[in-house]
Structures are given as structure tokens and as C-alpha cells.
Amino acid sequence: MEKRNIMENIKETFSVEGYVAIPSLLTAHEVEELRSIYNQLLSETDKTKGLRSDLAGSTNGDGKKVERITQIMRPSMIEEKLMAHNAYKKASEWAKHLLGEDMELDFDMLINKAPHTDTETPWHQDAAYWIDLPDKRAASCWIALDHVHEANGCMWFLPVDEKEVLPHQSLPGGGALYCEADTANAKPIPLQAGGCTFHDGHTLHYSKGNRTDGQRRALILNFRPKQMILLEREKGMDHTGNREKRS
């Protein structure tokens, strides 16, 4: 009964706030398994070409591209071991609990903040990247593969009162989308490795840069209703193309 009450409280928090933290999604062993795959993908620039980009969207003084916030879209298309990993099963079970049994995995991605890059991910809503769909239920599961805190770029959240997408712009050089908002009431969500957060597509979120000696590795799994995934694919949206404002 206690576990059921905890799960219902988590569901209620997600419904009201638009985000929720789950301190222990994965075991230490499961985290180590993912880190091994993750590190390999980070090192394989040729293998991940076309799905890989820098959310910082910037260059160094010589004009050479420097990855500070590495994003690899749809990594499970490259490494089949990912889809079979327990993380995908556990996150899927939570997504169904939070938003309904018709929720399925839409896409996955890796986002890594390299040591001492100190580059923030600006405030944004995920829905700004997505096409408009009649059923707007969606949940992004952000899984920490390192201990995350303010100094290395843990997630910050700011609930929005209305389910609307604010005006967004792109950072220079093909970087992430960002928007302007009053973030005075935003909250940081530190996590141990293996913990996660879920947030919906309209929830504003942000993270500071990584000022530490270690990586800040995160695996993100996005879920939405099966019929909406089919509709996305019919419209040519498979989350492998260029970042741009769509909504």
C-alpha cells in the first residue's frame, strides 16, 4: 500500500507541477552498463555523424567547432543494446503510470556536458521543437548517469500555468532554442546517478554549465501516445533532422 501511495503522489505532482523527480530509477549496475555504452558513443564521432550536434552552437577562436554540450539523437538506432536495457523498460512503465497505457517511446537522446565547459542550456520548452499534435500528452525522462548538482549542470524546472508554447529563438551557430521567462521561482533538482526526472513538453527547464572535472552524462527518453507517434512519422517527424522551432 505504501508503494502505491508513493506512486500516486508522484503522479499527482507531475500532473500539477509538470515535472517530478524519482530519486532511484536504476541500480548502480544498470548505471555502469549505460555509462559503458554512452562513453563509446561519445568517442565514435564518425558512427554518430548526422545524429550528433552541439547544443551550445558555438565555435572557438579559430572557427573550429568545439563540442561543449554534445547531443546524440536516437542513439538506440546506432547501438541496439540500448533499447534492450532495463532503463527503457522502467522509464516506459513510469510514463504509462503518469499519462496512460497508450504511452510509447517516441525517441531517445544523449546529452553530455564535458568537464570545465561551463556552458548553460538555456530556458526552453521541449514542445517548441515538436510539430503541433491533437493529443499533447508527452513526458521526457531525464536520467542522470552521474551525480548531478548545480556545479555540473543539474536540471532546473519552472512550471507554467498555461499549456502554451512561449516564443522561442535559436542560439547562434545552430544551437538550442531558448525563450524569455521570469525564472525567479525556478528550482534545481540534484540527483544521484540512476535518479531521474520526468517533465512534460510545456514545462520550462534549464541547466547550468559544467564547471567540474567530470562528465555530466544524461540519457533522455521521450514518450507520447502511440497514435501521435504514428502521426508524427506520417508528417516526416522522426527526431533525426535539424533543430528548429516547429510549434
Q: Could you read off the pLDDT of 96-125 as tens digits, one per residue?
A: 999 999 999 999 999 999 999 999 999 999
pLDDT at 147 over 80: yes
Average pLDDT value for the chain: 91
Is 76 part of any domain?
yes
Is 179 part of any domain?
yes
| 136 neighbors 127 (Cβ within 8 angstroms) | yes
Is 239 part of any domain?
no
% of the chain exceeding 70 in pLDDT: 93
Of 161, 166, 189, 163, residue with least CA distance to 177? 166
pLDDT at 247 over 50: no
C-beta neighbour count of 48 within 10 angstroms: 22
pLDDT at 243 over 90: no
- Give the chain's domain count: 1
Is 242 part of any domain?
no
Is 243 part of any domain?
no
pLDDT at 62 over 50: no
pLDDT number for residue 1: 57
pLDDT at 190 over 60: yes
Cross-strand partners of 187: 157
Which CATH number covers residue 127? 2.60.120.620
pLDDT at 41 over 60: yes
Is 197 part of any domain?
yes
- State the residue range of the domain holding 164: 2-234
pLDDT at 164 over 90: no
Q: Rounded to an integer, what distance in angstroms lies between the CA atom of residue 121 and that of residue 123?
A: 7
